[in-house]
Amino acid sequence: MKLIITLTSVAVATLTLLSAEAQAQYVKDNEAVKVTAAGTKVETPPVPGPVGKVCGANSNCHAGSWRMVETESGLVECTEPWARPGSCRASSYGTQKLPRLWVVKRGSDWLQCQFPDLGSKCVSMSARPPANLPFDAVQ
């Protein structure tokens, strides 16, 4: 009887971990993603003024954390939070450990969060330095 309970406990724990990982592919309560009867509408952060040349996702110019951004094509990892063309690639979340930040919208404010959770350390992208310096995490 103890063996059956132990095996059941292991199976439940494994399923819980797998479902938690699968659910972490998006940030709950991210107001940039709106699901309606007509489909899903996704908003990305506006590009502020002149930000310079795009650092391509497959270039050697990126040295910081990857920004996890929800787009019309799904979750992508980008070299910048604005998800400009060329700056993003398919998400490797769950298969490759990298320093990451999660770009989310709450109200009219765009945030960079440490984890895919609005309860984690989040900073406003519109705050002035150093208050806008995000807290990344390898995940």
Tell me: the pLDDT tens digits for 85-101?
999 999 999 999 999 99
Q: What burial letters (b/e) apply to 48-62, b meaning 16+ CB within 10 Å?
A: eeeeeebbebeeeee
Number of domains in the chain: 1
Q: Residue 1 falls within a domain, yes or no?
A: no
Q: Which domain holds residue 65?
A: 27-138
Sequence-ordered list of residues with C-beta below 8 angstroms from that of 121, at least 6 positions apart, any chain: 113, 114, 134, 135
Residue 126: CB atoms within 10 Å: 13
Q: Residue 65 falls within a domain, yes or no?
A: yes
How far does CA 124 lie from the centroid of its chain?
15
Is residue 99 helix, strand or coil? strand
Tell me: the pLDDT tens digits for 32-71?
999 889 988 999 999 988 888 999 999 988 889 999 999 9
Q: Residue 81 falls within a domain, yes or no?
A: yes
- Residues in the chain, overall count: 139
Q: Residue 6 falls within a domain, yes or no?
A: no
